Structure 1
Amino acid sequence: MQSLLTLGLMEAVMERPVPENVMIMQGQSGELLMTNDGLDETIQDWINAMQHRGQDELQTLRERIDLNLTRAQALLLAHFKAGFRVFDPLGDDVPSLVCFIGIVCESLTQARMAFPSNQPHLGLSWWMVLPKSYQELIRREMTEDGWCPSMVEYLINLGSTSVLEYACKAGPVEGGYSHEACSPVSCAAYNVDPENYIPKHTHSCMQKNIFSSGDENDCGYCAAPLDQVKSLILSGEKPVLTLCEVTGHRLPVLELHKASDFPYVAISHVWADGLGSTTEKGLPACQLRRLASLVSEESQAREQAIAMMARIYQDAAAVLVLDSGLQICRSDQHLGTKLLRTLTCGWMRRLWTLQEAALSKELHLVLADGQCPLKALIPHGSLYFQRPLLDLAAELFRLTKWSTYGSYSLGDVARALTWRNTSKRSDETLAVAGLLDVKPSILTAMRPEERIMRLMQVMGRVPRNVLFLHGKKLQLHGFSWAPTSFMAAHGGAAQGPLLSTSDTDAVVTPRGLAATYFALVLPRKMPKKGLNAWRLRDTKTGKLYLVAETESDKTEPNACDLLLTPNDASLGSVVSCVGALITGHVAEPACEESNSPYTVFCRFRRRLLLHCVTAFTNDSEVDEVETPVSGKLSVCVG
């Protein structure tokens, strides 16, 4: 079986013999070992050999490739359901073999993109090679190696065995931050206490361990003229600093200008690296010779400065990224290494840096030996088909969407924020408003807990699958469907469905979220007791369902009499489901955009999973409910 799903699968897809030494090597003791060292080269040689064929021939080849990979997927899924017992004779090597098979499947799946297809996109996923028991082994190994637990969860959630293998081999950045206080959903290493924060001196500064700014130091603190900074900000101008060395003075002078007078470069960094400051306190002169930081502490000016943040980075000629982890990476290292270090650096984990990066015209990473444009890290040409480059680059590509396409969706924001964090939770909506074409000033006047509600109201339309996101929900009238945060560290979803990046098929109304879902109306409130799974028989269609709570919803059971899913579940599928409680109905549309003359009003109660099955097993302890009412329904979830 292992040969069938490795060498056998490669030969079936490539339609030519594959030498055993591509995947088998001899160990030091003479034993035979599986290896993927020759995998990429073999696949690339095959792609190159196929390029001379005609378009029609390549399309039929692509169809055969898809068929073989679909069969492999079905076979792996069957073995997954059986606990991969077919490989039991291998003992402790079973997880390694299954992951190896996953790498082969992922490599061939990516390689098939080199050939044209006139068929609808076939989504192939190999999640089954990473069952929970294997994930736990990976967690243990990576955290023991020094990886942040939340970064491990992020990499696992990418769903790419190739990425995990690459990260395990590369290891975390040496000499990085301690992650002892971090959790699977939150990295605490980059959080700072603004009240007791002390900027760091540069490594080359002889006074890097002296933090006072007295005259006895060779390197003192320099600050911009506060009153002038506040005046510019309050007048709507972006303040820009130039550093001037003055003859006879050991400290430089900061000169203030209006950004409208000339092009400027903005700096994007994380405070934990020691580069943070306020206008009042300034920075060590050694740091100011590299950068300037301008955020006022005075309340009114701070709100105005926050409102300007999007414009500051959007209007900059370029944005330089300074991160301690990136600055030990060299430009001549392998593309995969540079991608991994960028994806896992502290700068990618912070809230405000998302906007700073996404809105920039040109984003440059400062490496150990120079600057590297972010776009240079996006795989192209033959690199596009090499594992795990595309999986590593996916989130970096999201950072280029604004500069490339001029837009950023709520789904993009939600996905980008999942594994980011901030020391000030109330800043979440302020930090992304500019990406969503919402004025931050609209949000600063709101109470922090109401800002995400206001953001949704101003946007007006959102993806309807926002209803199915895991994580905490708002406890506000008309917004029981809305998440309290998109950041897992602050109650957002770390797992489960991802918010759509293309749809805006739900309308935010004063009474709730108006959208159309597939609905199953229950004859009575369920569940009656506990959190046990229960059965549902749809007498209208004859379909049978098992209903159970999700792992992320372990709260006390909330009774519901309406089940909502994105679409009708097909036989054998497991779909996200929301249990709601009907509060009323009217013979009118929920909003102007609705085509339905009838609307059911309801309130979000709990998350569920709906499994469409062929038959029920005999279990008298499980409740069974019959419903004669199902189909598409216009609802308003309040």
Structure 2
Amino acid sequence: MCIKIPEHFLLSRLDDGETRFSLDNLSVLLRDWRYRIRRHGLGEQCRPWAARAYSALFTANSLLTSKLVHPDLDTFRHAGLSAEVMSGILCTSAAMAYALLSVPNIFPLQYRPPSPAPFLFNLFSMKGMSSIRARMSANGWCPFTVSVIDSYGLSALGYASTLPPFIRGSADEHRQCTDRNCGVNNVDVLRYQNKHVHPSCTCAHISVPLEDVHALLDFGVIPVVVPVGANLTIRAASDVPYVAISHVWVDGLGSVTEKGLPLCQVERIAPMVRALVPSGAFWMDSLCIPAERNTRKRAIGLMARTYGEAAEVLVLDAGIRACRSDAAIEEKAVRVLTSGWAQRLWTLQEAMLACNLNFEFSDGITRIEELIPATEEIMDDPLMPSLGMELHRLTTYRERGGVRPQPFTLAQVARALKWRSTSKSEDETLAISGLVGVDAAELVALPSHAERMKALLLGLGSVDPGIITFPGVRLDIPGFTWAPQTLMIHGTANMSIQRNGERTALCTPEGLLGEYAIVQFALTTIEDGTSYVIQVDGQTYSWDAIPFKGPSSYRCNAVLLPQGGLPGRGNATLGASVSVAGFDEEPAKDRLVCTFGRRLWLRDSSEGVAKDSGGTLIVATSGRVRVRLM
């Protein structure tokens, strides 16, 4: 059952003659190990085998932990290795250990030894992460894109660092970008210019008959483009199968019906469309959405239907197109997930509503299914569990058997938006409405983003009670001061994903109705920079304010806790301070009326720690109540 692995399987020789530890053959070894476990891992004889596998992981866990806890005793440091070499060794070792974690779970449950402690292999890479991120940025990677890759795990970051970045213009184009924002993806509409297929091309623009587009949109019909000879004609989408084009404006394909696109771009797109649908019909915002305000609103209101009813959706992105379709599946996944297309607001709905999603690579078109390994294969590659799962999420709303799944919850959409952005904040609700089952046509007529967010929440009805602790600025609308102004909060923890039948809160014009755990106390003025300690039934909790752009002080007399109650020993929970005004009117006289204050953390602490902290003591009571949050 056990075999010895030849040393050369884990080594590779560099061009300068040096030998290094390598993970190049790790997927082969994992595949073979899984095969042998499935073939021989039955009966009592596999108990010691499983024990040895877990023991090796525990040993690796201990050794790597010691390098964090006792850096002065680090063998690598005493050997005189450079910081870069040490970080590389730590990251490689942690990546290998992390990849091995899932394999022992193939053993039958009854033969696995108990796990004495959690594995923390991702934490061991912390010492090496900063050097990898710095090296990637120096090589031209956008710091924001590096943060995106980092979120997929240690193995993904390490692999991406071996790839050259996609450079759209100049090598230093990301010099103004940060780990929270990529400025290159944003466009200035007033100065926007289309790009030709080749920089030297000077061909004229081509457009469609504007009056035909208006005529269809005026009756709520989706217009599609059908090339006929040297001209572009317009037909109703309901009359012909069509391809919906999904792209980002930074690649130079943005426009409006009145202006059209360079002829060379249309000639490049047309053959790809015909390869997907014989009719050659396609929809593209640059040709099918006019600039005229009212008609434009009608077209935007039809966006969800446009992509949901398309026979195929084709993604055009310069970064993805720079990669070949026969490249390693890991590289293709990285190129898609780090593309400008994957970082923009509108393209989320365009992808998730697609019945069939396709990507243009440099040598052809690839379906998304070809980028997602089979379940059996996905665990053989330490990169693919996280990358494959992220790609798989783009298919979860797909219509199957003529039936589309239930709309997403707001929490699920917030999670999907955490690395996306837009040049027009007022577009946010329009771009996600189709995913949550709200009609964009009802939102597009509203005058402001705040009013659209309010209407979206009312259209949803039920939301996760944890929405009151979602990060960011709140709406300045009576009855909705608890509501987030945006769901696009990069890289932060999101609302919990509520399942069908679980507890929800109800959005109404008068406020948010829900049931919460509550900590109540006398009306208190909370000052920024002052420490506070809440005492409930003899137990103390530290009050950790979350930075907020607003007044330096505010008054409150309660904290609402969405996650079920006060934190257990040594734990913390998110809450929201509120001001309780009293009880509601009939027929809900037992419901408290509250005004939203600030987000905060409540952390369990011993009484001794509380006293030593010198914090202002607040004596409180706890319970569970129905509330109307305004």
Task: Give the TM bin, normalised by the shorter chain.
Answer: 0.7 to 0.9
Deviates more, 1:604-613 or 1:419-428: 604-613
CA distance change for structure 1 residues 80 and 232 in 2, over 3 Å: closer, same or farther? farther
1:181 & 1:562 partners in 2: Cα distance? 43
Q: Look up the SS of the partner of 2:609 in the other structure.
A: coil
Q: What CA deviation, in whole Å up to 9, does each residue of 1:262-281 have, x standing for no partner?
A: 11111111111111221101
Residues 217, 299 of structure 2: 8 Å contact kept: yes
1:48 alignment partner in structure 2: 35
CA pair 128-192 structure 1, distance change in 2 beyond 3 A: same
CA distance in 1, matches of 2:42, 2:587: 49
Q: Does 1:625 align with 2:609?
A: no
* Residues 125-155 of structure 1 deviation map (CA, whole Å, 9 limit, x = unaligned): 6553355x75544442222121222212222
Cα distance in 2 for partners of 1:78, 1:526 equals 44
Mapped to 2, the partners of 1:17 and 1:74 lie a distance apart of: 22
CA–CA separation in structure 2 for the residues paired with 1:62 and 1:562:
55
Q: Which moved more, 1:227-236 or 1:576-585?
A: 576-585
2:541 to 525, 539, 545: 545
State the identity %: 30
Further displaced range: 334-343 or 371-380: 371-380
Q: Is the 8 A contact 2:534 2:620 kept in 1?
A: no
Corresponding residue for 1:607? 599
Deviations 1:160-193 (A, max 9, x none): 1111111112231245562233233222212222
Pairing 1:259–2:237 present: yes
Aligned partner of 2:493 in structure 1 is 496
Change (3 A) 1:440 1:621: same
Does 93-102 or 281-290 show the bigger shift? 93-102
> Which deviates the most, 28-37 or 59-68?
59-68
CA contact 2:144–2:182 (8 Å) conserved in 1: yes
Q: Report the alpha carbon displacement of residue 536 of structure 1 after superposing the two structures with TM.
A: 3.1
SS at match of 1:418: coil
1:295 paired to 2:293: no
What is the one-letter code of the residue matched to 2:205?
A: Y
SS in 2 for 1:616: helix
Distance 1:25 1:479, change over 3 A: same
Question: Which residue of 2 is the match for residue 202 of structure 1?
Answer: 197
Structure 2 counterpart of 1:141, which letter? R
Contact 1:268 1:356 in 2 (8 A): yes
Amino acid of the residue matched to residue 448 of structure 1? H
How far off its partner does 1:370 sit? 0.8
Aligned partner (choices 191, 214, 222) of residue 238 of structure 1? 222
Deviation at 1:88, TM superposition (A): 7.6
2:210 is aligned, of 210, 223, 226, to 226
Shift in alpha-carbon separation, 1:303–1:73, aligned structure 2, 3 A: farther
Judge conservation of contact 2:557–2:580 (CA < 8 Å) in 1.
Answer: yes
SS in 1 for 2:397: helix
Match of 1:307 among 301, 305, 324: 301
* 1:412-462 deviation per Cα after TM superposition (whole angstroms, max 9, x unaligned): 321222222222221111111111111112111222222112101110011
* Closer, same or farther: CA 353–587 of 1 in aligned 2, 3 Å: same
Equivalences for residues 18-29 of structure 1 within 5 A: none
Structure 1 stretch 598-607 or stretch 613-622: which is displaced more? Answer: 613-622
Partners of 1:573 and 1:442 in 2: how far apart? 43
Matched residue type, 2:208: A
**SS at structure 1 position matched to 2:626:** strand
Aligned equivalent of 1:150: 144
Q: Partner of 1:562 in structure 2? A: 558
Q: What is the Cα deviation at residue 466 of structure 1? A: 1.8
Change (3 A) 1:69 1:475: farther
Counterparts of 1:281 and 1:168, CA distance in 2: 41
Tell me how far 1:534 sits from its aligned partner: 3.4
- Specify whether residues 137 and 563 from structure 1 end up closer, same or farther in structure 2 by C-alpha distance, changes over 3 A only: farther
Report the equivalent of 2:279.
none
Q: Which whole-Å CA distance do the structure 1 matches of 2:309 and 2:49 have between them?
A: 44
How do 1:436-451 residues align onto structure 2 when only pairs under 5 Å count?
Answer: 436-446=436-446, 447-451=448-452
Q: Are 1:375 and 2:373 counterparts?
A: no
Q: How does 1:402-551 map to 2 (within 5 A)?
A: 402-403=397-398, 406-407=405-406, 408-446=408-446, 447-487=448-488, 492-500=489-497, 502=499, 505-525=504-524, 527=526, 529-539=527-537, 542-550=538-546
User: Structure 1, unaligned stretches of length 5 or more?
Assistant: 1-13, 211-218, 246-251, 591-596
Tell me, in whole angstroms, the C-alpha distance in 2 between the residues paired with 1:551 and 1:363. Answer: 41
| DSSP 3-state at the match of 2:161 | helix
**Residues in 2 aligned to 1:26 and 1:237: alpha-carbon distance in whole angstroms:** 62
Work out whether residues 571 and 613 of structure 1, in 8 Å CA contact, stay in contact via their aligned partners in 2. Answer: yes
Measure how far apart 1:513 and its partner are.
2.4
> Which residue number corresponds to residue 11 of structure 1?
none
- Taking the TM superposition and a 5 Å limit, the aligned residue runs for 1:46-125 are 46-53=33-40, 82=69, 87=74, 90=77, 92=83, 95-111=87-103, 114=106
CA distance in 1, matches of 2:522, 2:71: 41
Once the two structures are TM-superposed, the CA of residue 58 in structure 1 deviates from its matched residue by 12
Question: Is 1:400 the counterpart of 2:395 in the alignment?
Answer: yes
Instruction: Label 1:175 to 1:221 Cα distance change in 2 as closer, same or farther (>3 A).
Output: closer
* Contact 2:41–2:108 (Cα < 8 Å) also in 1: no
Aligned residue pair count: 592
The AA in structure 2 aligned to 1:181 is Q
SS in 1 for 2:147: helix
Other structure's SS at 1:169 match: coil
Give yes or no for contact 2:65–2:124 (8 Å, CA) kept in 1: no
Mean alpha-carbon deviation: is it higher for 14-23 or for 381-390?
A: 14-23
Q: Deviations over 1:219-258 (max 9, x none)?
A: 322111111110111111111111122xxxxxx2111111
Which range is displaced more, 36-45 or 296-305? 36-45
Distance in 2, matches of 1:82 and 1:443, equals: 54
Q: Check conservation: 2:378, 2:388, Cα contact below 8 A.
A: no
Rate the CA distance shift 1:402–1:60 in 2: closer, same or farther, 3 A: farther
**Measured at CA, do residues 369 and 73 of structure 1 come closer, stay the same or move farther in structure 2, by a change above 3 Å?**
same
- 2:566 matched to 1:579? no
Q: Do structure 1's residue 286 and structure 2's residue 264 form an aligned pair?
A: yes
Structure 2 distance, partners of 1:547, 1:562, is 12
Tell me the equivalent position of 2:276: none
Preserved CA contact (<8 Å) 1:80 1:128: no
Give the distance between the partners of 2:17 and 2:336, measured in 1 at CA: 39
SS in 2 for 1:51: helix
Other structure's SS at 1:355 match: helix
Give the AA of the match of 1:410: L
Structure 1 position 470, deviation (Å): 1.6
Query: What CA deviation, in whole Å up to 9, does each residue of 1:557-597 have, x standing for no partner?
Result: 5443323331342222233232333232349886xxxxxx8
- Whole-angstrom distance in 2 between the partners of 1:77 and 1:580: 45
Answer whether contact 1:310 1:356 (CA < 8 A) is retained: yes
Partner of 2:347: 353
Moved more, 254-263 or 121-130: 121-130
Unaligned runs of 5+ in 2: 271-283
* Normalised TM-score (structure 2): 0.83
Tell me by how many angstroms 1:629 deviates: 1.7
**Structure 1 residues 550, 174: CA separation in 2 closer, same or farther (over 3 Å shift)?**
same
Judged with a 3 Å threshold, the aligned counterparts in structure 2 of structure 1 residues 358 and 621 are, in CA distance, closer, same or farther, namely closer
Counterpart residue identity of residue 31, structure 2: Q
Task: Please give the secondary structure, in 1, of the residue aligned with 2:601.
Answer: strand
CA contact (8 A) 1:58 1:116 kept: no
Partner of 2:383: 388
**Does the CA-based 8 Å contact 2:539-2:607 persist in structure 1?**
no
Question: How much does 1:321 deviate?
Answer: 0.8
- 1:29 is displaced (CA, Å) by 9.3
- Whether the aligned pair in 1 keeps the contact of 2:414 and 2:494 (CA below 8 Å) is no
